[in-house]
Structure 1
Amino acid sequence: MKPAAFEYCRPATLSDALAALDHEDAKILAGGQSLVPMMNFRLVQPARLVDINGLVELTGIAEEGGTIRIGALTRHAEAARDATLRRCLPVVGEAMAEVAHVAIRNRGTIGGSLCHADPSAEWPLLAMLLDAAIELAGPDGARTVPAGDFLLAPLVTTIEEGEIVVAVRIPTPAPGTGMAFVEIAQRAGDFAVAAAGATVRLDGERIAEVRLALGGVSDAPVRLHAIEAALAGAHPREIEAAVSDAADGLEPNDDMHASADYRRRLAPVLARRALERAAERASNLAPTR
């Protein structure tokens, strides 16, 4: 099938894009890896398509005052090879290797992935894990929303009518932080059945700081704050016991990829793998005494 007829706009500036979105039925086109198939199947039929690929304001990756700012038009492949992200946030490159296939990685964007809000996708999980903040621009001005408040459910975010995701801002991790991302899929390139991301910073042989997030096990990625608190000050060998109840309170969905029960069984397994891998990497980053 082909999409229904639509008006096509390609604004040159952010202000022009916001003006073009002032329409009763407009959609944003960035990478188009989710939107275009949905249009071809006529699951969505926007009257106006606003192509934002010409907006240089939405590009670029830079360190700014203790944070790393990633433009919303950054492609998955670009994020994977960026020198700043490889140095400060190597977990991004590890996660991007799990994103679909090369063609998708070359065109799909960070902003598009976050707006699509697939609970099994890599960027929503990374945003939750890394305490990211989402920068938005709209007809009423700019605002910033924490990832935990932005991501609500599949295809559901707190983005308001007429707004555009401009960038993602991530706090720069402390030196010596180990990171890991793991996921399970039926085949390479398929949607993840479930995934986990972790960061660990050690103080000697003890865990000084830890973050853990799971994807694909709820309507949105989840941070496991109780496990994080339990592991603060613990030895890495205590990780397996700490994550044994990682599935408690989770309500995964049944779908064509996996049952809810299977996803619950995966939760502690992936949590352990991610945490142990992050802890091992943190130990390798620790200064020699």
Structure 2
Amino acid sequence: MIPAPFDYVAPTTVDDAVRALADAGEDAKVIAGGQSLLPVLRMRLAAPTKLIDLGRVAELRGIREEGGHVVIGAMTTHYEIQRDPVVDTHLRLLRLATDTVADPQVRHRGTLGGALAHADPAGDLAAPVLAMDAEFVLCGMDGRRTVPAAEFFVDYFTTALRPDEIVVEVRLPKLTGWHAHYEKFNRVAQAWSIVGVAACLRVDGGVIAEARVGLTNMGSVPLRATEVEAALVGHPATAATVRAAAAHAAEGTSPAADGNADREYRQHLARVLTDRALTAAAGV
């Protein structure tokens, strides 16, 4: 199908983008890499009156270090994240999760900010940034504000973004030296996760000192597996510890039932994949 008619603007600064969004009203759409939005437009599941393209806003791109954080511009592509040495050193979980996103063509065009703002519960990057305690810097007509990942994801395809706001950057604490793994289950290669698990551990002297576990597609938003984390911390990094902790993975979850899996199967997958992710991260 062909998208419905719309006006198109391509601002070159964040301020101009925000102003264009505010002027256009609630019927406008922001396009980043377009890998999620363009299919929706072609199927006419959305019919915006104006499309605001962020592709020419240079300040939205790039990866930099700021003290104990790594800051990633919203328009930074998945391909750039995969190959950045700062990300690989300090944010290994994000790099590993990004490796599983779709295919090389999508990773060359898709962006971190666009994927997270889309807020698809099956998307593979929301659970890792949640597990890593990321913060989102948002900009609107009233200026900039920072929202923690735990408050950014509100519901299916719904975030804390106000109608006149865009994502400027994502700030992630450095997890240098942490062990990490992202495990996903899907029916075919390059597909969305039926369930995914993001795990990162800080091991000190053979004992798990800190643990972060995020769940993909186990609810309307990404979730932290807090019971799993609690069962890991303070215990030796062994297969027995991992197995016992993974048994708690489905607690507090409410996954959807669809053509891929029912609720009980997704909860079973969460336990199995958590075991696999933690086993790989801990190297046991």
Identify the TM-score tier after normalising by the shorter chain. Answer: over 0.9
Q: What is the CA–CA distance in structure 1 between the aligned matches of 2:217 and 2:168, rounded to whole Å?
A: 25
8 A contact 1:236–1:276 mirrored in 2: no
2:14 is the counterpart of 1:11: no
- 1:16-63 C-alpha deviation (Å, 9 max, x unpaired): 111111222211111111111111111100001001100011011011
Find the counterpart in structure 2 of residue 229 from structure 1: 230
Any stretches of 5+ residues in structure 1 without a counterpart? 282-289
Q: What is the CA–CA distance in structure 2 between the aligned matches of 1:51 and 1:18, rounded to whole Å?
A: 11
Find the counterpart in structure 2 of residue 180 from structure 1: 181
8 A contact 1:118–1:153 mirrored in 2: no
Tell me by how many angstroms 1:147 deviates. Answer: 0.5
8 A contact 2:227–2:248 mirrored in 1: no
Find the counterpart in structure 2 of residue 140 from structure 1: 142
Find the counterpart in structure 2 of residue 254 from structure 1: 257
Partner of residue 27 from structure 1, selected from 25, 29, 33: 29
Q: Which stretch shows the higher mean deviation, 226-235 or 104-113?
A: 226-235
Tell me by how many angstroms 1:176 deviates. Answer: 2.9
Q: What is the CA–CA distance in structure 2 between the aligned matches of 1:178 and 1:142, rounded to whole Å?
A: 33
Q: What is the CA–CA distance in structure 1 between the aligned matches of 2:263 and 2:46, rounded to whole Å?
A: 28
Q: What is the CA–CA distance in structure 1 between the aligned matches of 2:112 and 2:154, rounded to whole Å?
A: 17
Tell me by how many angstroms 1:235 deviates. Answer: 1.2
8 A contact 2:90–2:177 mirrored in 1: no
- 1:76-98 C-alpha deviation (Å, 9 max, x unpaired): 11111111111111222221221
User: Normalising to structure 1: TM-score of the pair?
Assistant: 0.94
**Superposition pairs of residues 47-126 of structure 1, within 5 angstroms:** 47-126=49-128
8 A contact 1:98–1:188 mirrored in 2: no
Q: Which stretch shows the higher mean deviation, 214-223 or 256-265?
A: 256-265
Q: What is the CA–CA distance in structure 1 between the aligned matches of 2:49 and 2:207, rounded to whole Å?
A: 57
Q: Which stretch shows the higher mean deviation, 15-24 or 133-142?
A: 15-24
8 A contact 2:227–2:251 mirrored in 1: no
Q: What is the CA–CA distance in structure 1 between the aligned matches of 2:213 and 2:186, rounded to whole Å?
A: 20
Runs of 4+, deviation exceeding 4 Å: none
- 1:113-142 C-alpha deviation (Å, 9 max, x unpaired): 111111121111111111000110000000
SS at match of 2:283: helix
Tell me by how many angstroms 1:66 deviates. Answer: 0.7
Find the counterpart in structure 2 of residue 36 from structure 1: 38
SS at match of 2:258: coil
Partner of residue 273 from structure 1, selected from 270, 273, 276: 276
SS at match of 1:122: coil
% identical aligned pairs: 41
Q: What is the CA–CA distance in structure 1 between the aligned matches of 2:143 and 2:169, rounded to whole Å?
A: 14
Q: What is the CA–CA distance in structure 1 between the aligned matches of 2:164 and 2:83, rounded to whole Å?
A: 32
Q: Which stretch shows the higher mean deviation, 208-217 or 245-254?
A: 245-254
Q: What is the CA–CA distance in structure 1 between the aligned matches of 2:232 and 2:96, rounded to whole Å?
A: 24
C-alpha RMSD over aligned residues: 1.2
Matched AA of 1:169: R
8 A contact 1:116–1:154 mirrored in 2: no
Find the counterpart in structure 2 of residue 195 from structure 1: 196
8 A contact 1:11–1:52 mirrored in 2: yes
Q: What is the CA–CA distance in structure 1 between the aligned matches of 2:112 and 2:156, rounded to whole Å?
A: 16
How many residues get paired?
280
Q: What is the CA–CA distance in structure 2 between the aligned matches of 1:246 and 1:125, rounded to whole Å?
A: 14
SS at match of 2:113: helix
Q: What is the CA–CA distance in structure 1 between the aligned matches of 2:21 and 2:165, rounded to whole Å?
A: 8
8 A contact 1:2–1:41 mirrored in 2: yes
**Superposition pairs of residues 194-213 of structure 1, within 5 angstroms:** 194-213=195-214
Q: What is the CA–CA distance in structure 2 between the aligned matches of 1:67 and 1:245, rounded to whole Å?
A: 30
User: Normalising to structure 2: TM-score of the pair?
Assistant: 0.96
Tell me by how many angstroms 1:245 deviates. Answer: 2.5
